[in-house]
Amino acid sequence: MKFLVICCLSVSVWASSQQQKTPPAAVAPDCLEFSLEGRVNGGEEYSHELGGGLRIRLLPSKENWGWMVQVQPLDSTDDYAYPVNPPFGSGNSQWLSTGYGETVEQQLKYEHEVYFVLNRAEYEHAAKLVEHALSSSDPSALGIFLSTLPTLRSAVLRIKPTKYETTNAGKSVNWMQFSMTVTTPANFGPALGLNARRIVCPSNRR
């Protein structure tokens, strides 16, 4: 199941319309955008510092099946993307691997949009809401969480495979080249060497 995505810097007034298409709107130029490129071999891990004490990691799956995309603090393995990228426990935008009814070759054919939070307080708050939504006996709990989701998302990265080589009928990957674009609030401090530019936040980021 592919969830509609509503980008970061949302305000609560939009929460009730989370499942609706967000109309265009004029917004202030208060986002940063920076890009990077990378290459990783099948079965190997990729890691790159983003800034703000965070890093992106591509964690390899078994049998060279691909990778799981995570955003982690430099001093922890907590995944700051997990609480804001449902569905949970099944294939979602973080999944760049064979499984859940698709091969890695199919996963590599399109751009993956992965949201994340920026600090531990945001992570713990979002994780607590996810835990409650998944464990609650109240059938409306998940819907309440989804309506709150836009206000929890702080930043987004888009990872696009550009070249790759697959084997095993598309189930395994030998290597992948990719480009990545990261959009954050304007007060985010990108890592050394990442040249950010100030942009007008896309209308659906609010």
Asked whether the beta carbons of 12 and 204 are under 8 A apart, the reply is no
34 touches 203 (CB < 8 A): no
Q: For residue 8, is pLDDT > 70?
A: no
Q: Span 104-130, mean pLDDT? A: 97
- Report the pLDDT value the prediction gives residue 13, as an integer from 0 to 100: 29
Q: How far apart are the first and last CA of the chain?
A: 24
Domain ranges of the chain: 36-183
- Residues 34-48 have pLDDT tens digits of 999 999 999 999 999
Q: Which candidate, 116, 40, 112, 44, places its Cα nearest to that of 73?
A: 116
Q: pLDDT at position 98, please?
A: 97
pLDDT at 52 over 60: yes
For residues 76-107, one letter each, b for 16 or more C-beta atoms within 10 angstroms of the residue's C-beta and e for the rest, the string is eeebbbbbbbbeeeeebbbbbbbbeebbbbeb
Tell me if 54 sits within 8 A of 74, measured CB to CB.
Answer: yes
Orientation angle between helical segments 141-152 and 120-135, nearest 10 degrees: 160
Q: What is the pLDDT of residues 11-37, one digit of tens each?
A: 332 333 333 333 333 345 689 999 999
* CA 74/CA 53 separation, integer angstroms: 6
- Asked if residues 104 and 151 have their Cβ atoms less than 8 Å apart, the reply is no
